[in-house]
């Protein structure tokens, strides 16, 4: 028979476990459905990645240059007009920025990117593409139109290089405005529980069941002793 303090510890642990489940679910739901949090996610994504790009430029090009960049940031190294190194075959930057060494918003294949060009020397030029929004003409289970920063950002959110009436400014790590964003808050969807949420609930139910049964067993044994 479990000691009384062990039974109490199990009950307290079960209660705390359920508190954790509810707090975790509602916090995740808040992070992914609150418009201000989605705006913050988009801004932080741009800030962090533009900072990493600028740091990589400062360190200079090397053979493992792609390792210095975030996973979904693309680079293209040109010698004169010839492409000599790159880290993706998904897209090629056909647009040459008019402003050297500044991030600009462009559209490629209905997707939105920030682009930046930097001359390393007289002959070598590197172009960076930072995807913000990926659009696919044909979608399936693996390819879905989405924002990189958070997949819960509505896909009809507007990204523009011109100021929007109800939009906010998207800034890079140097506080330069790189785009204007209009978030369609009415189209933000509530989060459905994921597999981890379901597993945690199953575990929580098991602890409730175990707590009730052990408490009943202990109570029955005490009654028999009386």
Question: Could you give the dihedral angle defined by the CA atoms of residues 15, 25, 197 and 35, in that order, rounded to the nearest 10 degrees?
Answer: 180
Question: Any idea where the domains of the chain sit in the sequence?
Answer: 25-184
Tokens of 27: 């916090």
Whether the predicted model's global pTM rises above the 0.95 cut: no
Strands, E assignment, the chain: 74-79, 82-86, 104-108, 111-119, 124-134, 146-147, 158-160, 168-171, 177-182
CA-closest candidate to residue 148, choices 95, 102, 112, 110: 112
Predicted confidence at residue 81, as pLDDT, reads 81
Angle (CA) 188-164-38 rounded to 5° is 30
For the beta carbon of residue 81, count every other beta carbon within 10 angstroms.
Answer: 6
pLDDT one digit per residue (tens) for the chain, 226 residues: 456 667 778 788 888 888 898 888 878 777 777 888 899 999 999 999 999 999 998 888 887 788 889 888 999 998 888 888 888 887 777 655 556 678 999 998 889 999 998 888 888 889 999 999 999 888 887 888 999 999 889 999 999 999 888 889 999 999 999 999 998 878 777 777 778 888 888 888 888 888 888 777 766 766 555 5
What's the CA gap between 91 and 113, in Å, rounded? 11
Beta bridge partner(s), residue 225: none
Predicted confidence at residue 114, as pLDDT, reads 95
């Amino acid at each position: 028979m479990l000691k009384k303090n062990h039974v109490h510890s199990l009950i307290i642990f079960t209660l705390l476990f359920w508190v954790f489940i509810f707090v975790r679910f509602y916090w995740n739901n808040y992070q992914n459905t609150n418009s201000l949090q989605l705006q913050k996610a988009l801004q932080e994504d741009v800030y962090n990645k533009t900072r990493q790009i600028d740091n990589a430029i400062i360190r200079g090009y090397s053979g493992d240059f792609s390792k210095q960049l975030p996973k979904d940031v693309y680079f293209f190294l040109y010698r004169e007009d010839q492409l000599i190194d790159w880290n993706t075959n998904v897209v090629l930057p056909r647009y040459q920025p008019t402003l050297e060494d500044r991030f600009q918003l462009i559209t490629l294949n209905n997707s939105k990117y920030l682009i930046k060009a930097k001359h390393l020397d007289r002959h070598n030029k590197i172009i960076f593409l930072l995807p913000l929004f990926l659009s696919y003409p044909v979608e399936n289970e693996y390819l879905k139109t989405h924002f990189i920063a958070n997949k819960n950002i509505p896909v009809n959110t507007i990204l523009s290089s011109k100021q929007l009436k109800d939009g906010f400014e998207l800034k890079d790590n140097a506080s330069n405005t790189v785009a204007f964003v209009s978030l369609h808050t009415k189209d933000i969807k509530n989060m459905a529980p994921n597999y981890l949420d379901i597993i945690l609930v199953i575990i929580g139910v098991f602890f409730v069941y175990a707590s009730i049964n052990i408490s009943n067993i202990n109570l029955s044994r005490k009654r028999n002793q009386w």
